[in-house]
Structure 1
Amino acid sequence: MSEVAQRILELRAELDQHNYRYHVLDEPSIPDAEYDRLFKELKQLETDNPHLITPDSPTQRVGSLALTAFDEVKHEVPMLSLGNAFEEADMLSFDRRVREGLDLPSGDLFGGGAEVEYSCEPKLDGLAVSLLYRDGLLVRGATRGDGSTGEDISVNVRTIRNVPLKLQGEGWPAVLEVRGEVFMSKAGFEALNERQLALGGKTFANPRNAAAGSLRQLDSKITAARPLEFCCYGIGQVEGELPQTHIGILQTLKDWGMPISRELKLAKGIDQCLAYYRDIGERRESLAYEIDGVVFKVNSLASQRELGFRAREPRWAIAHKFPAMEELTELLDVEFQVGRTGAVTPVARLKPVKVAGVTVSNATLHNMDEVARLGLMIGDTVIIRRAGDVIPQVVQVVTERRPADARAVSIPENCPVCGSHVERTQLVKRSKGKESFVEGSIYRCVGRLACAAQLKQAIIHFVSRRAMDIEGLGEKSVEQLVDEGLVRSPADLYTLTFDQVVQLEGFAELSSKNLLAAIADSRKPTLARFIYALGIPDVGEETAKLLARALGSLERIQQALPEVLTYLPDVGLEVAHEIHSFFIDPHNRQVIADLLERGLQLQEEGELHPEFAACTTLAGFIDKLNIASIAATGAERLAARFQSLEGIIQADWLDLRQVERLNEKAARSLRDFFDDPANAERALAIEAQLRDFGMHWQSEKKQVEGLPLAGQTWVLTGSLEIMSRDVAKEKLEGLGAKVAGSVSAKTTCVVAGPGAGSKLAKATELGVAVLDEAQFIQRLAGYGIEV
């Protein structure tokens, strides 16, 4: 090895050690001037000998050529969010759930029971990132994104001074994913804003926004010039051995050069956790960085695996947030916005005020009932609360500061967008034998899709990924299409021409062709996707799938009466009425007809599902009519005695007396109900539809072949490569399985792709069957499903 190469290695090692002592140990051993001299010497040697430059050199943090866009990164182990605690009671409940989940003895009059060890560290207010090391070298940096997919910001994280490009020491795993927070200190933030002002540039509202904006610069040279820092709080994907406690892992990472929180502590039991929270809260303002709470994690990894996850949160960790930040300001006005369903919602326009480092000029008021509850008037001084990223809220009126010219807040009679009438919703309360109407808290514009605001929101929902999945139609594009009069209903999307699209702002020849191709590709949606895309109130993805699977065709869904829809599991009468009301609306029917006329071909339509067809009985039907004093047992006795609906309708007093144990009150109620011609006609109409659908209790039943996976619970974990997890979920649900988010003793099978972590460990521990993706596809093929 030449003397120059040897000197370069010596300088790199020395600079790496000084970086470690400065950023991780907080024990600098040389003055900054000496560090700069060594750095300058190394840079000159590498400039003179470019063939000796390596990616892990301390000089390779200065940034590179600007990117045009960030690539996507699939997280092998999802980056989950944490549940929040806002009160001490929430923390006590969390600790109780942990101890119950670990089956630890609870306390009694003579003792506090077993205590859990927790790690405690401040919750930095920054941006969560993932750093991937292979054989000790940094190979990738990524943002959290939606938890499953983030953005590749490798060139930018390399510019952060305390992110090691090469791990210190030895013994690190072959693959190690380190997770942490990129943030900006208070001093760094102030210095950045002063520099921005001097240059005439944009200033930032708070350190978090500054950190996030800096980290997502396409030009990494800009990132390199920003005072960003990194703090590690955990790990993701690992191939190798690590300690079996959370704090043990962080201490090991620190030994390898990774910065961790200097406030990291071990607490034994919930009381010590609460004491830590109070202490750090008192010192919050004196800390060098912004924090918005404290993160507590069960320290034992074995206990973490036992506790597992729920939805997108671990059961073994929680963020105890600090009280919301509040400020006083003036309510300048109340304006009204119109949403997708026509809801007219009040929004507070405020005199701008800084709350928790963010300038707030608008706040949510929810609805007019909330305005009344607050006693709010325009001109009032109000208290604004902002907690984390939650939309600011008006929480209180300072009535003693109310000016003499304060004005009442009133709902507009006409829609502020289209001028249509605004009416208050009515809620129907249904119980045995009666309906009552009460005023709802929502006001709605009756203009429906004739209202531009509703039309825009309806189309944004219609084209979204889980609906018709038309890529390239973002909110701004939809607004242009509506404002230009090119789209007056979702059906108009399918008549757009190249000449119309290319004239829109942001569209060139290629993007116009791509959009038209995406619209064309969306012409064959599944029935379930189409139903969801229509935006029926209270009908989400799962209900749309249920409607499609059970009723089998758009025609039957459109015709279905509310009482028939209630035979579907988890569909109550209120939702059933929403669905029915949507489909009997002439305007909605016309939009659907136009969509079909313009080439939409619904997929996966078929027959009524046999299990749904076989679910009706005469007794169950009578019970669903909600006749006062007729319960399920009485309905069964009536069905047994008369054998038909017509027989029950026509039964006289003498006939009813012969029904076993049917008392006079029930008999009178039954006669009163059917003596009303409207009730009798309604019951016969429902029965007629049951006959038409093949659901009548006297209809010939097809043999019900149970779905092969009915009653089973499956879990998907890791990243699947042949299909997405959404597709895998659809396949499993189509076979009758329930797809859950966590593994338990009741889990039937786990499908584990690359990067599977705690769910796979839990399945192995419980002896649950595990399939890799190839075995899963083979299993699907056995049921006749191609991938």
Structure 2
Amino acid sequence: MTDAQTAAERINALRAELDAHNYRYYVLDQPSVPDAEYDRLFRELQALEAEHPELVTPESPTQRVSGAALAAFGEVRHEVPMLSLGNAFEEQDLLDFDRRVREGLGELLPGGDLFGDGPEVEYTCEPKLDGLAVSLLYENGLLVRGATRGDGSTGEDISGNVRTIRNLPLKLQGQGWPAVLEVRGEVFMSRAGFEALNARQAEAGGKTFANPRNAAAGSLRQLDARITASRPLEFCAYGFGRVEGELPDNQFDILQALKGWGLPISRELKRVKGAQGCLAYYRDIGERRDSLAYEIDGVVYKLNNLAWQRELGFRAREPRWALAHKFPAREELTELLDVEFQVGRTGAVTPVARLKPVQVAGVTVSNATLHNMDEVARLDLRIGDTVIVRRAGDVIPQVMQVVLERRPAEARPVHIPEQCPVCGSAVERTQLVKRGKGRETVSEGAIYRCVGRLACGAQLKQAIIHFASRRALDIEGLGDKIVEQLVDTGLVASPADLYTLKYEQVVELEGFADLSTRNLLAAIADSRKPTLARFIYALGIPDVGEETAKLLARALGSLERIQQALPDVLTYLPDVGLEVAHEIHAFFSDEHNQRVISDLLARGVELQEEGGLSPEFAACATFAGFIDKLNIAGIAATGAKNLAEKAGSLEGLVALSRDWLELSVMKGVNEKAKQALREFFAQPEQVQRAQAIEAQLRDFGMHWESEKKAVEGLPLAGQTWVLTGTLEVMTREAAKEKLETLGAKVAGSVSARTHCVVAGPGAGSKLAKANELGVRVLDEQQFLAELETLG
């Protein structure tokens, strides 16, 4: 077989594979390989066709833009083809592009010199959004048609769907726009919008999307425009097609004109000089990529001067005056070699993918998270599969998808172990208990747990690492490796054992000498006086994070009250539901946990900032609220209020439930609720439960009959603040503590309910979201002035 025959066979195979990928990506919105794999195949085809130009055909993927119109939509013929861009993957690719631009312009450049560097040309730079390219046709300022790119010549008519995109004007603003204006841009979905959509889809039992690009494409190409209207789509203009009228003579000013007519453009649009200006922009956006509100996969450079664009013209499938400079791939193909199971602090047994090492976003990846066995089932994952693995920023690599067409015959299913891989204890599936009005439902949870608790070395190590962490007891120098040594040598079998360590025990450990031993023991001694909130967080109660620990400490005031609090009393706390309340109560009811806490206190741990019940918490209980919290079927807030007024007390309520004649003539409570009340208090255990809750409310000084202290409202009570960017005068943690002291809740994301955002240098997507929603924004100096005003 000749070299030409071999090349022809490979070219045909590459074309067939690329066509199949194009169909899945552009038509079905179900890509089966990451972009990096597609780009490799495409570059290989380009190289082979360059070596054998006689084998180039018009239908080759290198000669046309990918995609075909769906039969379900009408067809739109693009009078000006919608071409794709050439790609750069290395800096040298950009330098070569810039050289070709300058060589192509030749004498048009002032002082142009084909043999020297010559003058720098001006480019526009903007992020390359990861969405779906569309064309919008405006006639006399009115939107009359929307279309997808399709194959570049023919697209799909999606006019009804694009009209639902909220940031897209149906009528152009201002004046001076051409009589006919075809605007081109990208329809995309922000990260926040994508996460919210997937959460809604999962809650409704619908299909979740793999990434924002798929979500945007799938949403825009719905046959029912009402579905599109319910999706958080956005549009960003980047160019134009057919025009009947006048436009500015350069790319940058055209986009500014589009912005003036009400069309959104990229906030990151910038003009730069020469290749070095492009590279500086690329590096800057690359560093800020993860803080942007949307996904991007590179940067687009365009020659700014329109006359020079026309001079350079086009190749078969791409303009000579524009380039897409891609970021290193965040998705790659690799092989799943095995699935191992790790045991966490709470005993959760979690599957971890062991992968054939692969470079993803400049980092060698050999492990990836699988979350839980439900995720393994959702992916239909088997050992031996070819998988798509993704890494974004500092996020742990994740297996995104299985390439089913590459599954080997010997692929093996993944099974959860029956015994803990660390201690050999039984592994049990968790149960989810949903508690509602008058009923409990039990279902299987997604998590499997080792039942060995602190007898399991893995759980013990993780528990101590958490106990010593910075936001817990902050024991400096007690890192993971040292904890492993302490547990493996038997020196530590619970967090309380840290406070019994002796110099002669520690100095014998690997890596320790006199000074390091004294430093560690001093750090442990310094941790003996934690605040109550830090101590509660350090205990590692399931579902109790730092904020809930602060809430418990602030409201209940003492460890004793937190330990005693009944689930129903804990639900008086804001943001503590019945499930979390039961987790807290169960933790402190456990004999082993009680023993660890007793040992900690006996070995010198002295809690700081303990005190009385907070006045706000003490004043929150009412008799009507008490009845509502009993969760009697059919009795909501209004019915509880009417019963409270009628009965006056718990004894009166029990008596009323047993006096059918009196109850039957009562107004404001329906018959179903009356029957439920009778049945509820006919159960002795429910009477005892209600009495126990009331008794604790009395003990805590929360009872509606208890004497109340005057409640002084905190100046920021009820407000939600968000901190973003770098604060230079104080740490974000210190700023958070000051805001919480003033009564504010400090959240991690911006929403319409956010009162204020404090934005330091480097603020990204949160600041953009705040500006979009019209939320008040302060810089650090303004924030400090506000703190001073509030005292």
Q: Give the counterpart of 2:599 among 594, 597, 604.
A: 594
Distance 1:538 1:90 in 2: 44
Conservation of the 8 A alpha-carbon contact between 1:717 and 1:750: yes
Q: Does 1:532 align with 2:537?
A: yes
Conservation of the 8 A alpha-carbon contact between 1:745 and 1:768: no
Distance 1:557 1:114 in 2: 65
Instruction: Tell me what 2:619 maps to.
Output: 614
1:463 positional shift: 1.3
Q: Cα 1:104–1:677, aligned 2, differ >3 Å: closer, same or farther? A: closer
Q: Cα 1:747–1:401, aligned 2, differ >3 Å: closer, same or farther? A: closer
Instruction: Tell me what 2:740 maps to.
Output: 733
- 1:86-235 pair list within 5 angstroms: 87-88=131-132, 106-107=169-170
Distance 2:133 2:588 in 1: 46
Instruction: Tell me what 1:367 maps to.
Output: 372
- 1:717-728 pair list within 5 angstroms: 723-728=730-735
Conservation of the 8 A alpha-carbon contact between 1:502 and 1:509: yes
SS in 2 for 1:455: helix
Identical counterparts, % of pairs: 62
Distance 2:767 2:428 in 1: 50
Distance 2:777 2:730 in 1: 26
Distance 1:290 1:593 in 2: 58
1:365 positional shift: 3.2
Q: Does 1:418 align with 2:426?
A: no
Q: Give the counterpart of 1:502 among 497, 507, 511.
A: 507
Please, which moves more after superposition, 700-709 or 553-562? Answer: 700-709
Q: Cα 1:259–1:707, aligned 2, differ >3 Å: closer, same or farther? A: closer
Distance 1:742 1:267 in 2: 38
Conservation of the 8 A alpha-carbon contact between 2:437 and 2:633: yes
Instruction: Tell me what 1:386 maps to.
Output: 390
Q: Cα 1:776–1:498, aligned 2, differ >3 Å: closer, same or farther? A: farther
Deviations 1:398-428 (A, max 9, x none): 4895546x66543322211112222111111
1:84 positional shift: 11
Give the AA of the match of 2:169.
S
Q: Does 1:396 align with 2:459?
A: no
Distance 1:84 1:623 in 2: 53
Distance 2:415 2:749 in 1: 48
Q: Cα 1:527–1:250, aligned 2, differ >3 Å: closer, same or farther? A: farther
1:544 positional shift: 1.2
SS in 1 for 2:170: strand
Deviations 1:173-196 (A, max 9, x none): xxxxxxxxxxxxxxxxxxxxxxxx
Conservation of the 8 A alpha-carbon contact between 2:454 and 2:493: yes
Conservation of the 8 A alpha-carbon contact between 1:422 and 1:446: yes
1:343 positional shift: 0.6
Instruction: Tell me what 1:687 maps to.
Output: 694
Deviations 1:270-323 (A, max 9, x none): xxxxxxxxx9x999xx99987247xxxxxxxxxxxxxxxxxxxxxxxxxxxx7x
Instruction: Tell me what 1:291 maps to.
Output: 327
Conservation of the 8 A alpha-carbon contact between 2:472 and 2:538: yes
Deviations 1:445-475 (A, max 9, x none): 1111111101111111111111111111221
Deviations 1:82-106 (A, max 9, x none): 99976549999xxxxxx99x99762
1:253 positional shift: 11
Distance 1:748 1:663 in 2: 40
Distance 1:750 1:766 in 2: 6
Instruction: Tell me what 1:710 maps to.
Output: 717
SS in 2 for 1:659: coil
1:375 positional shift: 4.7
- 1:642-657 pair list within 5 angstroms: 642-651=647-656, 652=658, 653-657=660-664
Q: Give the counterpart of 1:667 among 663, 669, 674.
A: 674
Q: Cα 1:748–1:91, aligned 2, differ >3 Å: closer, same or farther? A: farther
Distance 2:324 2:753 in 1: 48
Q: Give the counterpart of 1:446 among 445, 451, 455.
A: 451
1:620 positional shift: 1.2
Instruction: Tell me what 2:462 maps to.
Output: 457
Distance 2:706 2:133 in 1: 56
Deviations 1:183-230 (A, max 9, x none): xxxxxxxxxxxxxxxxxxxxxxxxxxxxxxxxxxxxxxxxxxxxxxxx
Give the AA of the match of 1:575.
V
1:550 positional shift: 1.0
- CA RMSD after TM alignment: 5.1
Q: TM-score scaled to structure 1, two decimals?
A: 0.58
Give the AA of the match of 2:401.
V
Instruction: Tell me what 1:490 maps to.
Output: 495
Q: Cα 1:455–1:91, aligned 2, differ >3 Å: closer, same or farther? A: farther
Please, which moves more after superposition, 539-548 or 766-775? Answer: 766-775
- 1:505-520 pair list within 5 angstroms: 505-520=510-525
Q: Cα 1:533–1:114, aligned 2, differ >3 Å: closer, same or farther? A: farther
Conservation of the 8 A alpha-carbon contact between 2:278 and 2:301: no
Distance 1:740 1:627 in 2: 33
Distance 1:90 1:732 in 2: 45
- 1:307-322 pair list within 5 angstroms: none
Instruction: Tell me what 1:44 maps to.
Output: none
Q: Cα 1:647–1:745, aligned 2, differ >3 Å: closer, same or farther? A: closer
Distance 1:585 1:514 in 2: 34
Deviations 1:544-598 (A, max 9, x none): 1111111111111111111111111111111111111111111111111111111
Unpaired runs of at least 5, structure 1? 1-20, 36-81, 93-98, 121-243, 269-278, 294-321, 783-787
Give the AA of the match of 2:301.
K
- 1:558-597 pair list within 5 angstroms: 558-597=563-602
Give the AA of the match of 1:708.
P
1:627 positional shift: 1.0
SS in 2 for 1:440: strand
Distance 2:637 2:754 in 1: 34
Distance 1:683 1:292 in 2: 61
Conservation of the 8 A alpha-carbon contact between 2:752 and 2:775: no
Distance 1:641 1:610 in 2: 28
Q: Cα 1:85–1:701, aligned 2, differ >3 Å: closer, same or farther? A: farther
Deviations 1:708-765 (A, max 9, x none): 3324566667766664231122122112134467999998788788999997998999
Distance 2:501 2:408 in 1: 53
SS in 2 for 1:469: coil
Instruction: Tell me what 1:5 maps to.
Output: none
Q: Does 1:325 align with 2:388?
A: no
1:607 positional shift: 1.0
Distance 2:744 2:758 in 1: 13
Instruction: Tell me what 1:678 maps to.
Output: 685
Q: TM-score scaled to structure 2, two decimals?
A: 0.58
1:611 positional shift: 1.0
Conservation of the 8 A alpha-carbon contact between 1:583 and 1:589: yes
Q: Cα 1:287–1:464, aligned 2, differ >3 Å: closer, same or farther? A: farther
Conservation of the 8 A alpha-carbon contact between 1:376 and 1:397: no
SS in 2 for 1:506: coil
Q: Does 1:437 align with 2:442?
A: yes
SS in 1 for 2:432: strand
Give the AA of the match of 1:706.
G
Give the AA of the match of 2:458.
A
Q: Cα 1:325–1:756, aligned 2, differ >3 Å: closer, same or farther? A: closer
Distance 2:621 2:278 in 1: 67
Distance 2:303 2:692 in 1: 67
Conservation of the 8 A alpha-carbon contact between 1:425 and 1:441: yes
Instruction: Tell me what 1:66 maps to.
Output: none
Give the AA of the match of 1:599.
G
Distance 1:673 1:574 in 2: 21
Instruction: Tell me what 1:698 maps to.
Output: 705
Q: Does 1:472 align with 2:474?
A: no
Conservation of the 8 A alpha-carbon contact between 2:498 and 2:524: yes
